[in-house]
Amino acid sequence: MNCCSNKPVIGLIAGEKLCKAHFIEYFESKVFKTIRQFDLIGKEEHLGVALSGGKDSLTLLHLLSKLSKQNPKIKLTAIAINEGIHGYRDKTLAAAEKFCKKNSVPLHIYSYEEEFGMPLDNMLKALDVKPCTICGIFRRYLLNKKSRELGFTKLATGHNLDDEAQSIVMNEFKNNVQASARLGPKAGINSNKKFVQRIKPLYLCTEKEVTVYAFVNGLLDNFNECPNVAKSYRAQVRDMLNNFENENPGTKYAIINSFLQILPDLKKRFKGEQADYCKSCGEPAAKDKCNACIFAERLEKAKLRAV
């Protein structure tokens, strides 16, 4: 069924086909409803927006900019991480810089090279480790530390429904229930003065919806994918879920909806079981030493061996 006589730009799972104007209305009201439903943004905030320059984070910043224009008590600052991935991150960071300039959003960029001594490409030559494992650890570490130093009240990330469904399934397959307890539209389990609350306003939007929204709003003119993504466990789960969704539409929504029913109990169960501080750097850590410090030390040793 079509929404009106205009040409449709997307078909929804329920069967409805929406034109550009009706889709934008549908998408934006879904995001703003998510923000209200999960109480993601208060009346007065200094929101950090984790910006990679890809479709998800540009869509997020575009929507939060609208919110901030309507409500001057919501201040926005973008934060980006340059991992040092040749031929990929330079392009998405250029898109991020262009967007921030056009929309007058301040942008802070931090790089692995400056913070950890070398770009990701070199780290992967120095250590025998899966790219996304080390990359994810350093990114989460820097985003939290810098968000706190920049005085953000919360950090908004562009995670969409597909990302979350993948994370839930990955944690199930690895029997990592505690990691699932940290998921949800408001990430984390314990409040910790050194931990900046992460929020996911695109939580209920599918990857397809975000892609179409970014495209029809001219936020993205090309698709860049990290060259390391194909080697990741996440990519295997992503492909499996996409195949399953094609055969059984609604599967990803079902994963999220059932997860949301058990999430409050999961958070309750694991409350208080982590939230200590790293003895080396003082950042929040589950053990004596945080994973970022463990990898930074391994890199240091690898560097010494190479001399």
Contact pattern for Zn ion over residues 13 through 32, marking x by CB under 5 A? ------x--x----------
199 binds ligand SF4 (CB under 6 A): no
∠ CA 227-170-90, rounded to 5°: 25
Tokens of 112: 């692995």
Residues whose CB is less than 8 angstroms from the CB of residue 238 and which lie 6 or more positions away in sequence, other chains included: 162, 166
Could you list the beta-strand ranges (E) of 222-287.
276-277, 284-285
Minimum Å gap between C-beta 201 and ligand SF4 is 20
Contact pattern for ligand SF4 over residues 124 through 143, marking x by CB under 6 A? -------xx--xx-------
Restricted to residues 286-305, the positions that interact with Zn ion (CB under 5 A) are 290, 293
- Please give the backbone phi and psi of residue 30, each rounded to the nearest 5 degrees, phi first: -65, -45
Restricted to residues 229-268, the positions that interact with ligand SF4 (CB under 6 A) are 229, 232
Instruction: Say if CB 94 and CB 101 are below 8 A apart.
Output: no
Q: If you ran DSSP here, which 8-state letter would residue 46 be given? A: E
Contact pattern for ligand SF4 over residues 151 through 190, marking x by CB under 6 A? ----------------------------------------
What's the CA gap between 277 and 285, in Å, rounded?
5
The entry of Zn ion, ligand SF4, none near residue 278 (CB within 5 to 8 angstroms by kind) is Zn ion
The entry of Zn ion, ligand SF4, none near residue 216 (CB within 5 to 8 angstroms by kind) is none
What's the CA gap between 114 and 82, in Å, rounded?
10
82 binds ligand SF4 (CB under 6 A): no
Minimum Å gap between C-beta 209 and Zn ion is 15
